[in-house]
Structure 1
């Protein structure tokens, strides 16, 4: 089994340096007095909640050296609308998102020449809320042409194309250094807690509800969630209503090896990182065999997985001021890869 964390560290290192040096992003400008500034501009508040990745990305980009005010030197164009903020804005709401996006694209295509030049293929937007999947239904060129950087990245669902689009981790914001326990301190084999909003989760809990080594819980726990993550060797990511949840980020933050049961999931950075080096990927059909699968992993191999978790966790971390190799920079690298495919098509 391949043990290296990166598919090709030398290639990544060289291209990452070039990306950091030369990638330029043009953001469509909007004024602070725009009636929809809360949707189009970065907010000053610290991002919070399950869908914070969307806001963190925007804040990081607006403060970064990747921004250019000269569209002629731009590699990519950022569509700065926030799906989450649209959803929470009473003027738009869930029912108005599709119309808002459609009207926005019409507006920028009439005011600027850049969308029409490529049909939107050198444009991108970032969305973490699952409703982002249907937000483009009335702006079909965004769905088909633009790069969609989304948390809800399933091969199984229409509208997500993994070589065009990119998967961004869904991360619950946390401050300060992450606590962790050494492998020898983790007494439980595996852990899961969550709402019963999918057949995968229902099957998982039904199968292992009374087990003493695989700890599964319906809904919220009475004891601290963090203690269970710290006390377990493996932490289970099981598909909920959507294929993405914050549980992979939770597991990595607390040094727990993720067990991924979400079939058809385009895992974040899959073209950069070798997920088998720091996680265990199991088909949901094999839930009845889960204990046997995990017990069959020899202790020295588990220790290697856990050590690799400690190395990759920085790639799944948002920072108030972005740092090299954090989520922001890894996502920019994903865009860099995709921008190289676009050049031959557009120019």
Structure 2
């Protein structure tokens, strides 16, 4: 048995795909020590810098609860007053009838998607670049999964027409794709869902705090929360905490509470975390730090576009620099680290083979100087790879 495990790990090493943990200390929102080395982080999903925001830190210190654990799943005795208040806050913020909470984003998506494929007659129509948690949740369901080409509305509609059936039909998409930073055609997807009597599920993990003038994501784009829409989001990214949530109609949430095994059989996150999450939602409802993030997105997009990459239409905080081979991405990441930046190399299986990349993730705390230095360092290191050269800023 041991030699089989060793052989498989050696295969990963030889392909430049072996991964290992790094230790982070003294995170400030834009800087941290990575394995003891002080670096500027362009890797975090803490898009609004809430994880170190004084208001959220004060909420964490003030979260005086009688227990460190919720002690049970929500449907037993794990739904505390703090969870109830958070659900009410989510409903007010998103303009929905009800919401439910999950301990983590991955677990939540797996629970949600498997519940929507409860019957062999149920069908899901899933974008080819959806997050792994959506894919794995679909694999656990009893129904049929149809994968449509990335952001291809015509292909999706052809599949909806070809596969009618009598069960529940669900279209599922990321709002912002985590490794490409592009945005789903959300308005067109909702129109398709209505036309074909399907439920549209939108994962807002990387759109919350980012899309819309006030960072309200899908809610701001649609102006309301239609009955054909179910949204899923996380507290662990722009909201600076941990856990996840789904929002929708009373009927949708009642169904999921009773059918989503990952919800029924998981201990709820601690009540103190619910208090922190409620504070984060209140902060985002006021738009705190949203303008600062959007300013940084424009600055990096303009700088990289001047340097030869095309980010002229960039709307999100995720900037992929696709280089192709895993080894090249790793070398480029190491070069940037030597220049004082932590920008991770993203490789298979996170992305398709031959599309390895750097994934630059911005947040509201990055300074103009740090962004400019990153661009200069990236150009220098990129031009050392032998790939087609990029210009000067």
Give TM-score, length-normalised by structure 2: 0.26
Higher relative contact order (CA 8 A, sep 6+): 2
Q: Tell me which protein shows more strand as a share of its residues.
A: 2
